[in-house]
Amino acid sequence: MPKVELPPLVMQAATGYAAPADDPGPFATVALGDLGGLTQFGVRIETLPPGSTSSMRHWHSAEDEFVWILEGHLTLIEDTGETALGPGAAAAFPAGRRNGHCLVNRTRQPATFLVAGWRDGEDVCTYSGRNRLCVKSGGIPRFTRRDGTPLAPEEETGSFEDPAPQGPGGVIDIAALPERTGASYPEPWGTMMNGRHIRRLGDAKGLTQFGASLVTIDPGGLSSLRHWHAREDEFVLMLEGRLTLIEDAGETSLKPGDMTAHPAGVPNGHHMRNDTGLPARFLVLGTCSPEETCDYPGVDLLAHTAGARAWYATRDGRVLKEL
């Protein structure tokens, strides 16, 4: 069953930071991607009480990052400035872009957000304005100073003068993004998707390792054909309305706040259908693999990606449509 049940969030103290200068304060978090069996990117729900910060201001050399605000209000602090974010706001930070960022709760109420990040075994996390790096090699992280000398996790680091940040900032202007209706499927399946509307959030900020999209499904509409991915993890967060998750094992009703995870390589054909009289909306995250096959159980259709080429074909290899 791919539906992910959210366990209670328990407040905890931050570790690995020197107090008081670098201590972000208490927080509560749960690794949803791990609960759903995802391995390619991580997904967490995190709550910050008043006065807490998500982390030290930082950027990653090899890992994309995406944030969606769920409840409350937070201030996004970047090397390029500050932005107030409320529920339904999003931001993205592509790997390698020098723009240190963090979230801080300057209100009197807790705030909750979803954060997703690529999992790369080789990454350098740079902490803006601080003489600190987190260097990950072979999946094992260690703290160092900027010159590479070892650094104890709780050791005070001092300031460091960074070069000018690389813009643009991470905030996504969702209303300004084009909304695409339908799907690229060959007929007769293409017209079945006329009740689906998508805004590509990750593309707007240059994410390449995984995508993030905001999807609206009209009454009677479908999220996709029933499918599963050979090499791509997938994660869904319900935002508004209700949808019916249809998979090999049966059907499950989904409401706002419900989440599903579909690990790569698990042959569980799934999609969602809007059986209500009102639109429904969800956030979907999915790996962007350069080599992929998507299988559509119940119909004679496969989708292939090989580098710059993408195409639909029948199961015996006959090409139906080039993309």
CB 111 within 8 A of CB 140: no
Per-domain residue ranges of the chain? 3-144, 174-204+209-322
- Looking at the chain, the whole-number percentage of residues with pLDDT higher than 90 is 84
> pLDDT (tens digit, 9 = 90+) per residue, 210-220?
999 999 999 99
Residue 210, pLDDT score: 98
254 SS3 class: strand
| Whether the predicted pLDDT of 104 surpasses 90 | yes
Tell me phi and psi for residue 301, to 5 degrees: -150, 135
| Whether the predicted pLDDT of 29 surpasses 80 | yes
Residue 80, pLDDT score: 85
Q: Given pLDDT bands bounded at 50, 70 and 90, which one contains residue 158?
A: confident
| Whether the predicted pLDDT of 17 surpasses 80 | no
Q: How far apart are CA 164 and CA 99, in angstroms?
A: 9
Average pLDDT in the 279-299 region?
97
> pLDDT (tens digit, 9 = 90+) per residue, 191-237?
999 999 999 999 999 999 999 999 999 999 999 999 999 999 999 99
Kindly give, in sequence order, each residue whose CB lies less than 8 Å from that of residue 76, ignoring residues fewer than 6 positions away: 67, 82, 83, 84, 85, 91, 101, 102, 103, 170, 171
Topology (CATH) of 174-204+209-322: Jelly Rolls (2.60.120)
Taking CA atoms, 66 is separated from 94, 201, 208, 242, in Å, by 8, 9, 11, 24
Average pLDDT in the 174-187 region?
97
293 SS3 class: strand
Higher pLDDT among residues 21 and 91, named by residue: 91
Q: Given pLDDT bands bounded at 50, 70 and 90, which one contains residue 15?
A: low
Q: How far apart are CA 65 and CA 267, in angstroms?
A: 27
| Whether the predicted pLDDT of 148 surpasses 90 | yes
Asked if the domains at 3-144 and 174-204+209-322 fall in one CATH topology, the answer is yes
Higher pLDDT among residues 178 and 23, named by residue: 178
Residue 154, pLDDT score: 75
Specify the CATH number for 3-144; select among 2.60.120.10, 2.30.40.10, 1.10.3720.10, 3.40.50.1820.
Answer: 2.60.120.10
Q: Kindly report the pTM of this predicted structure.
A: 0.94
Residue 1, pLDDT score: 54
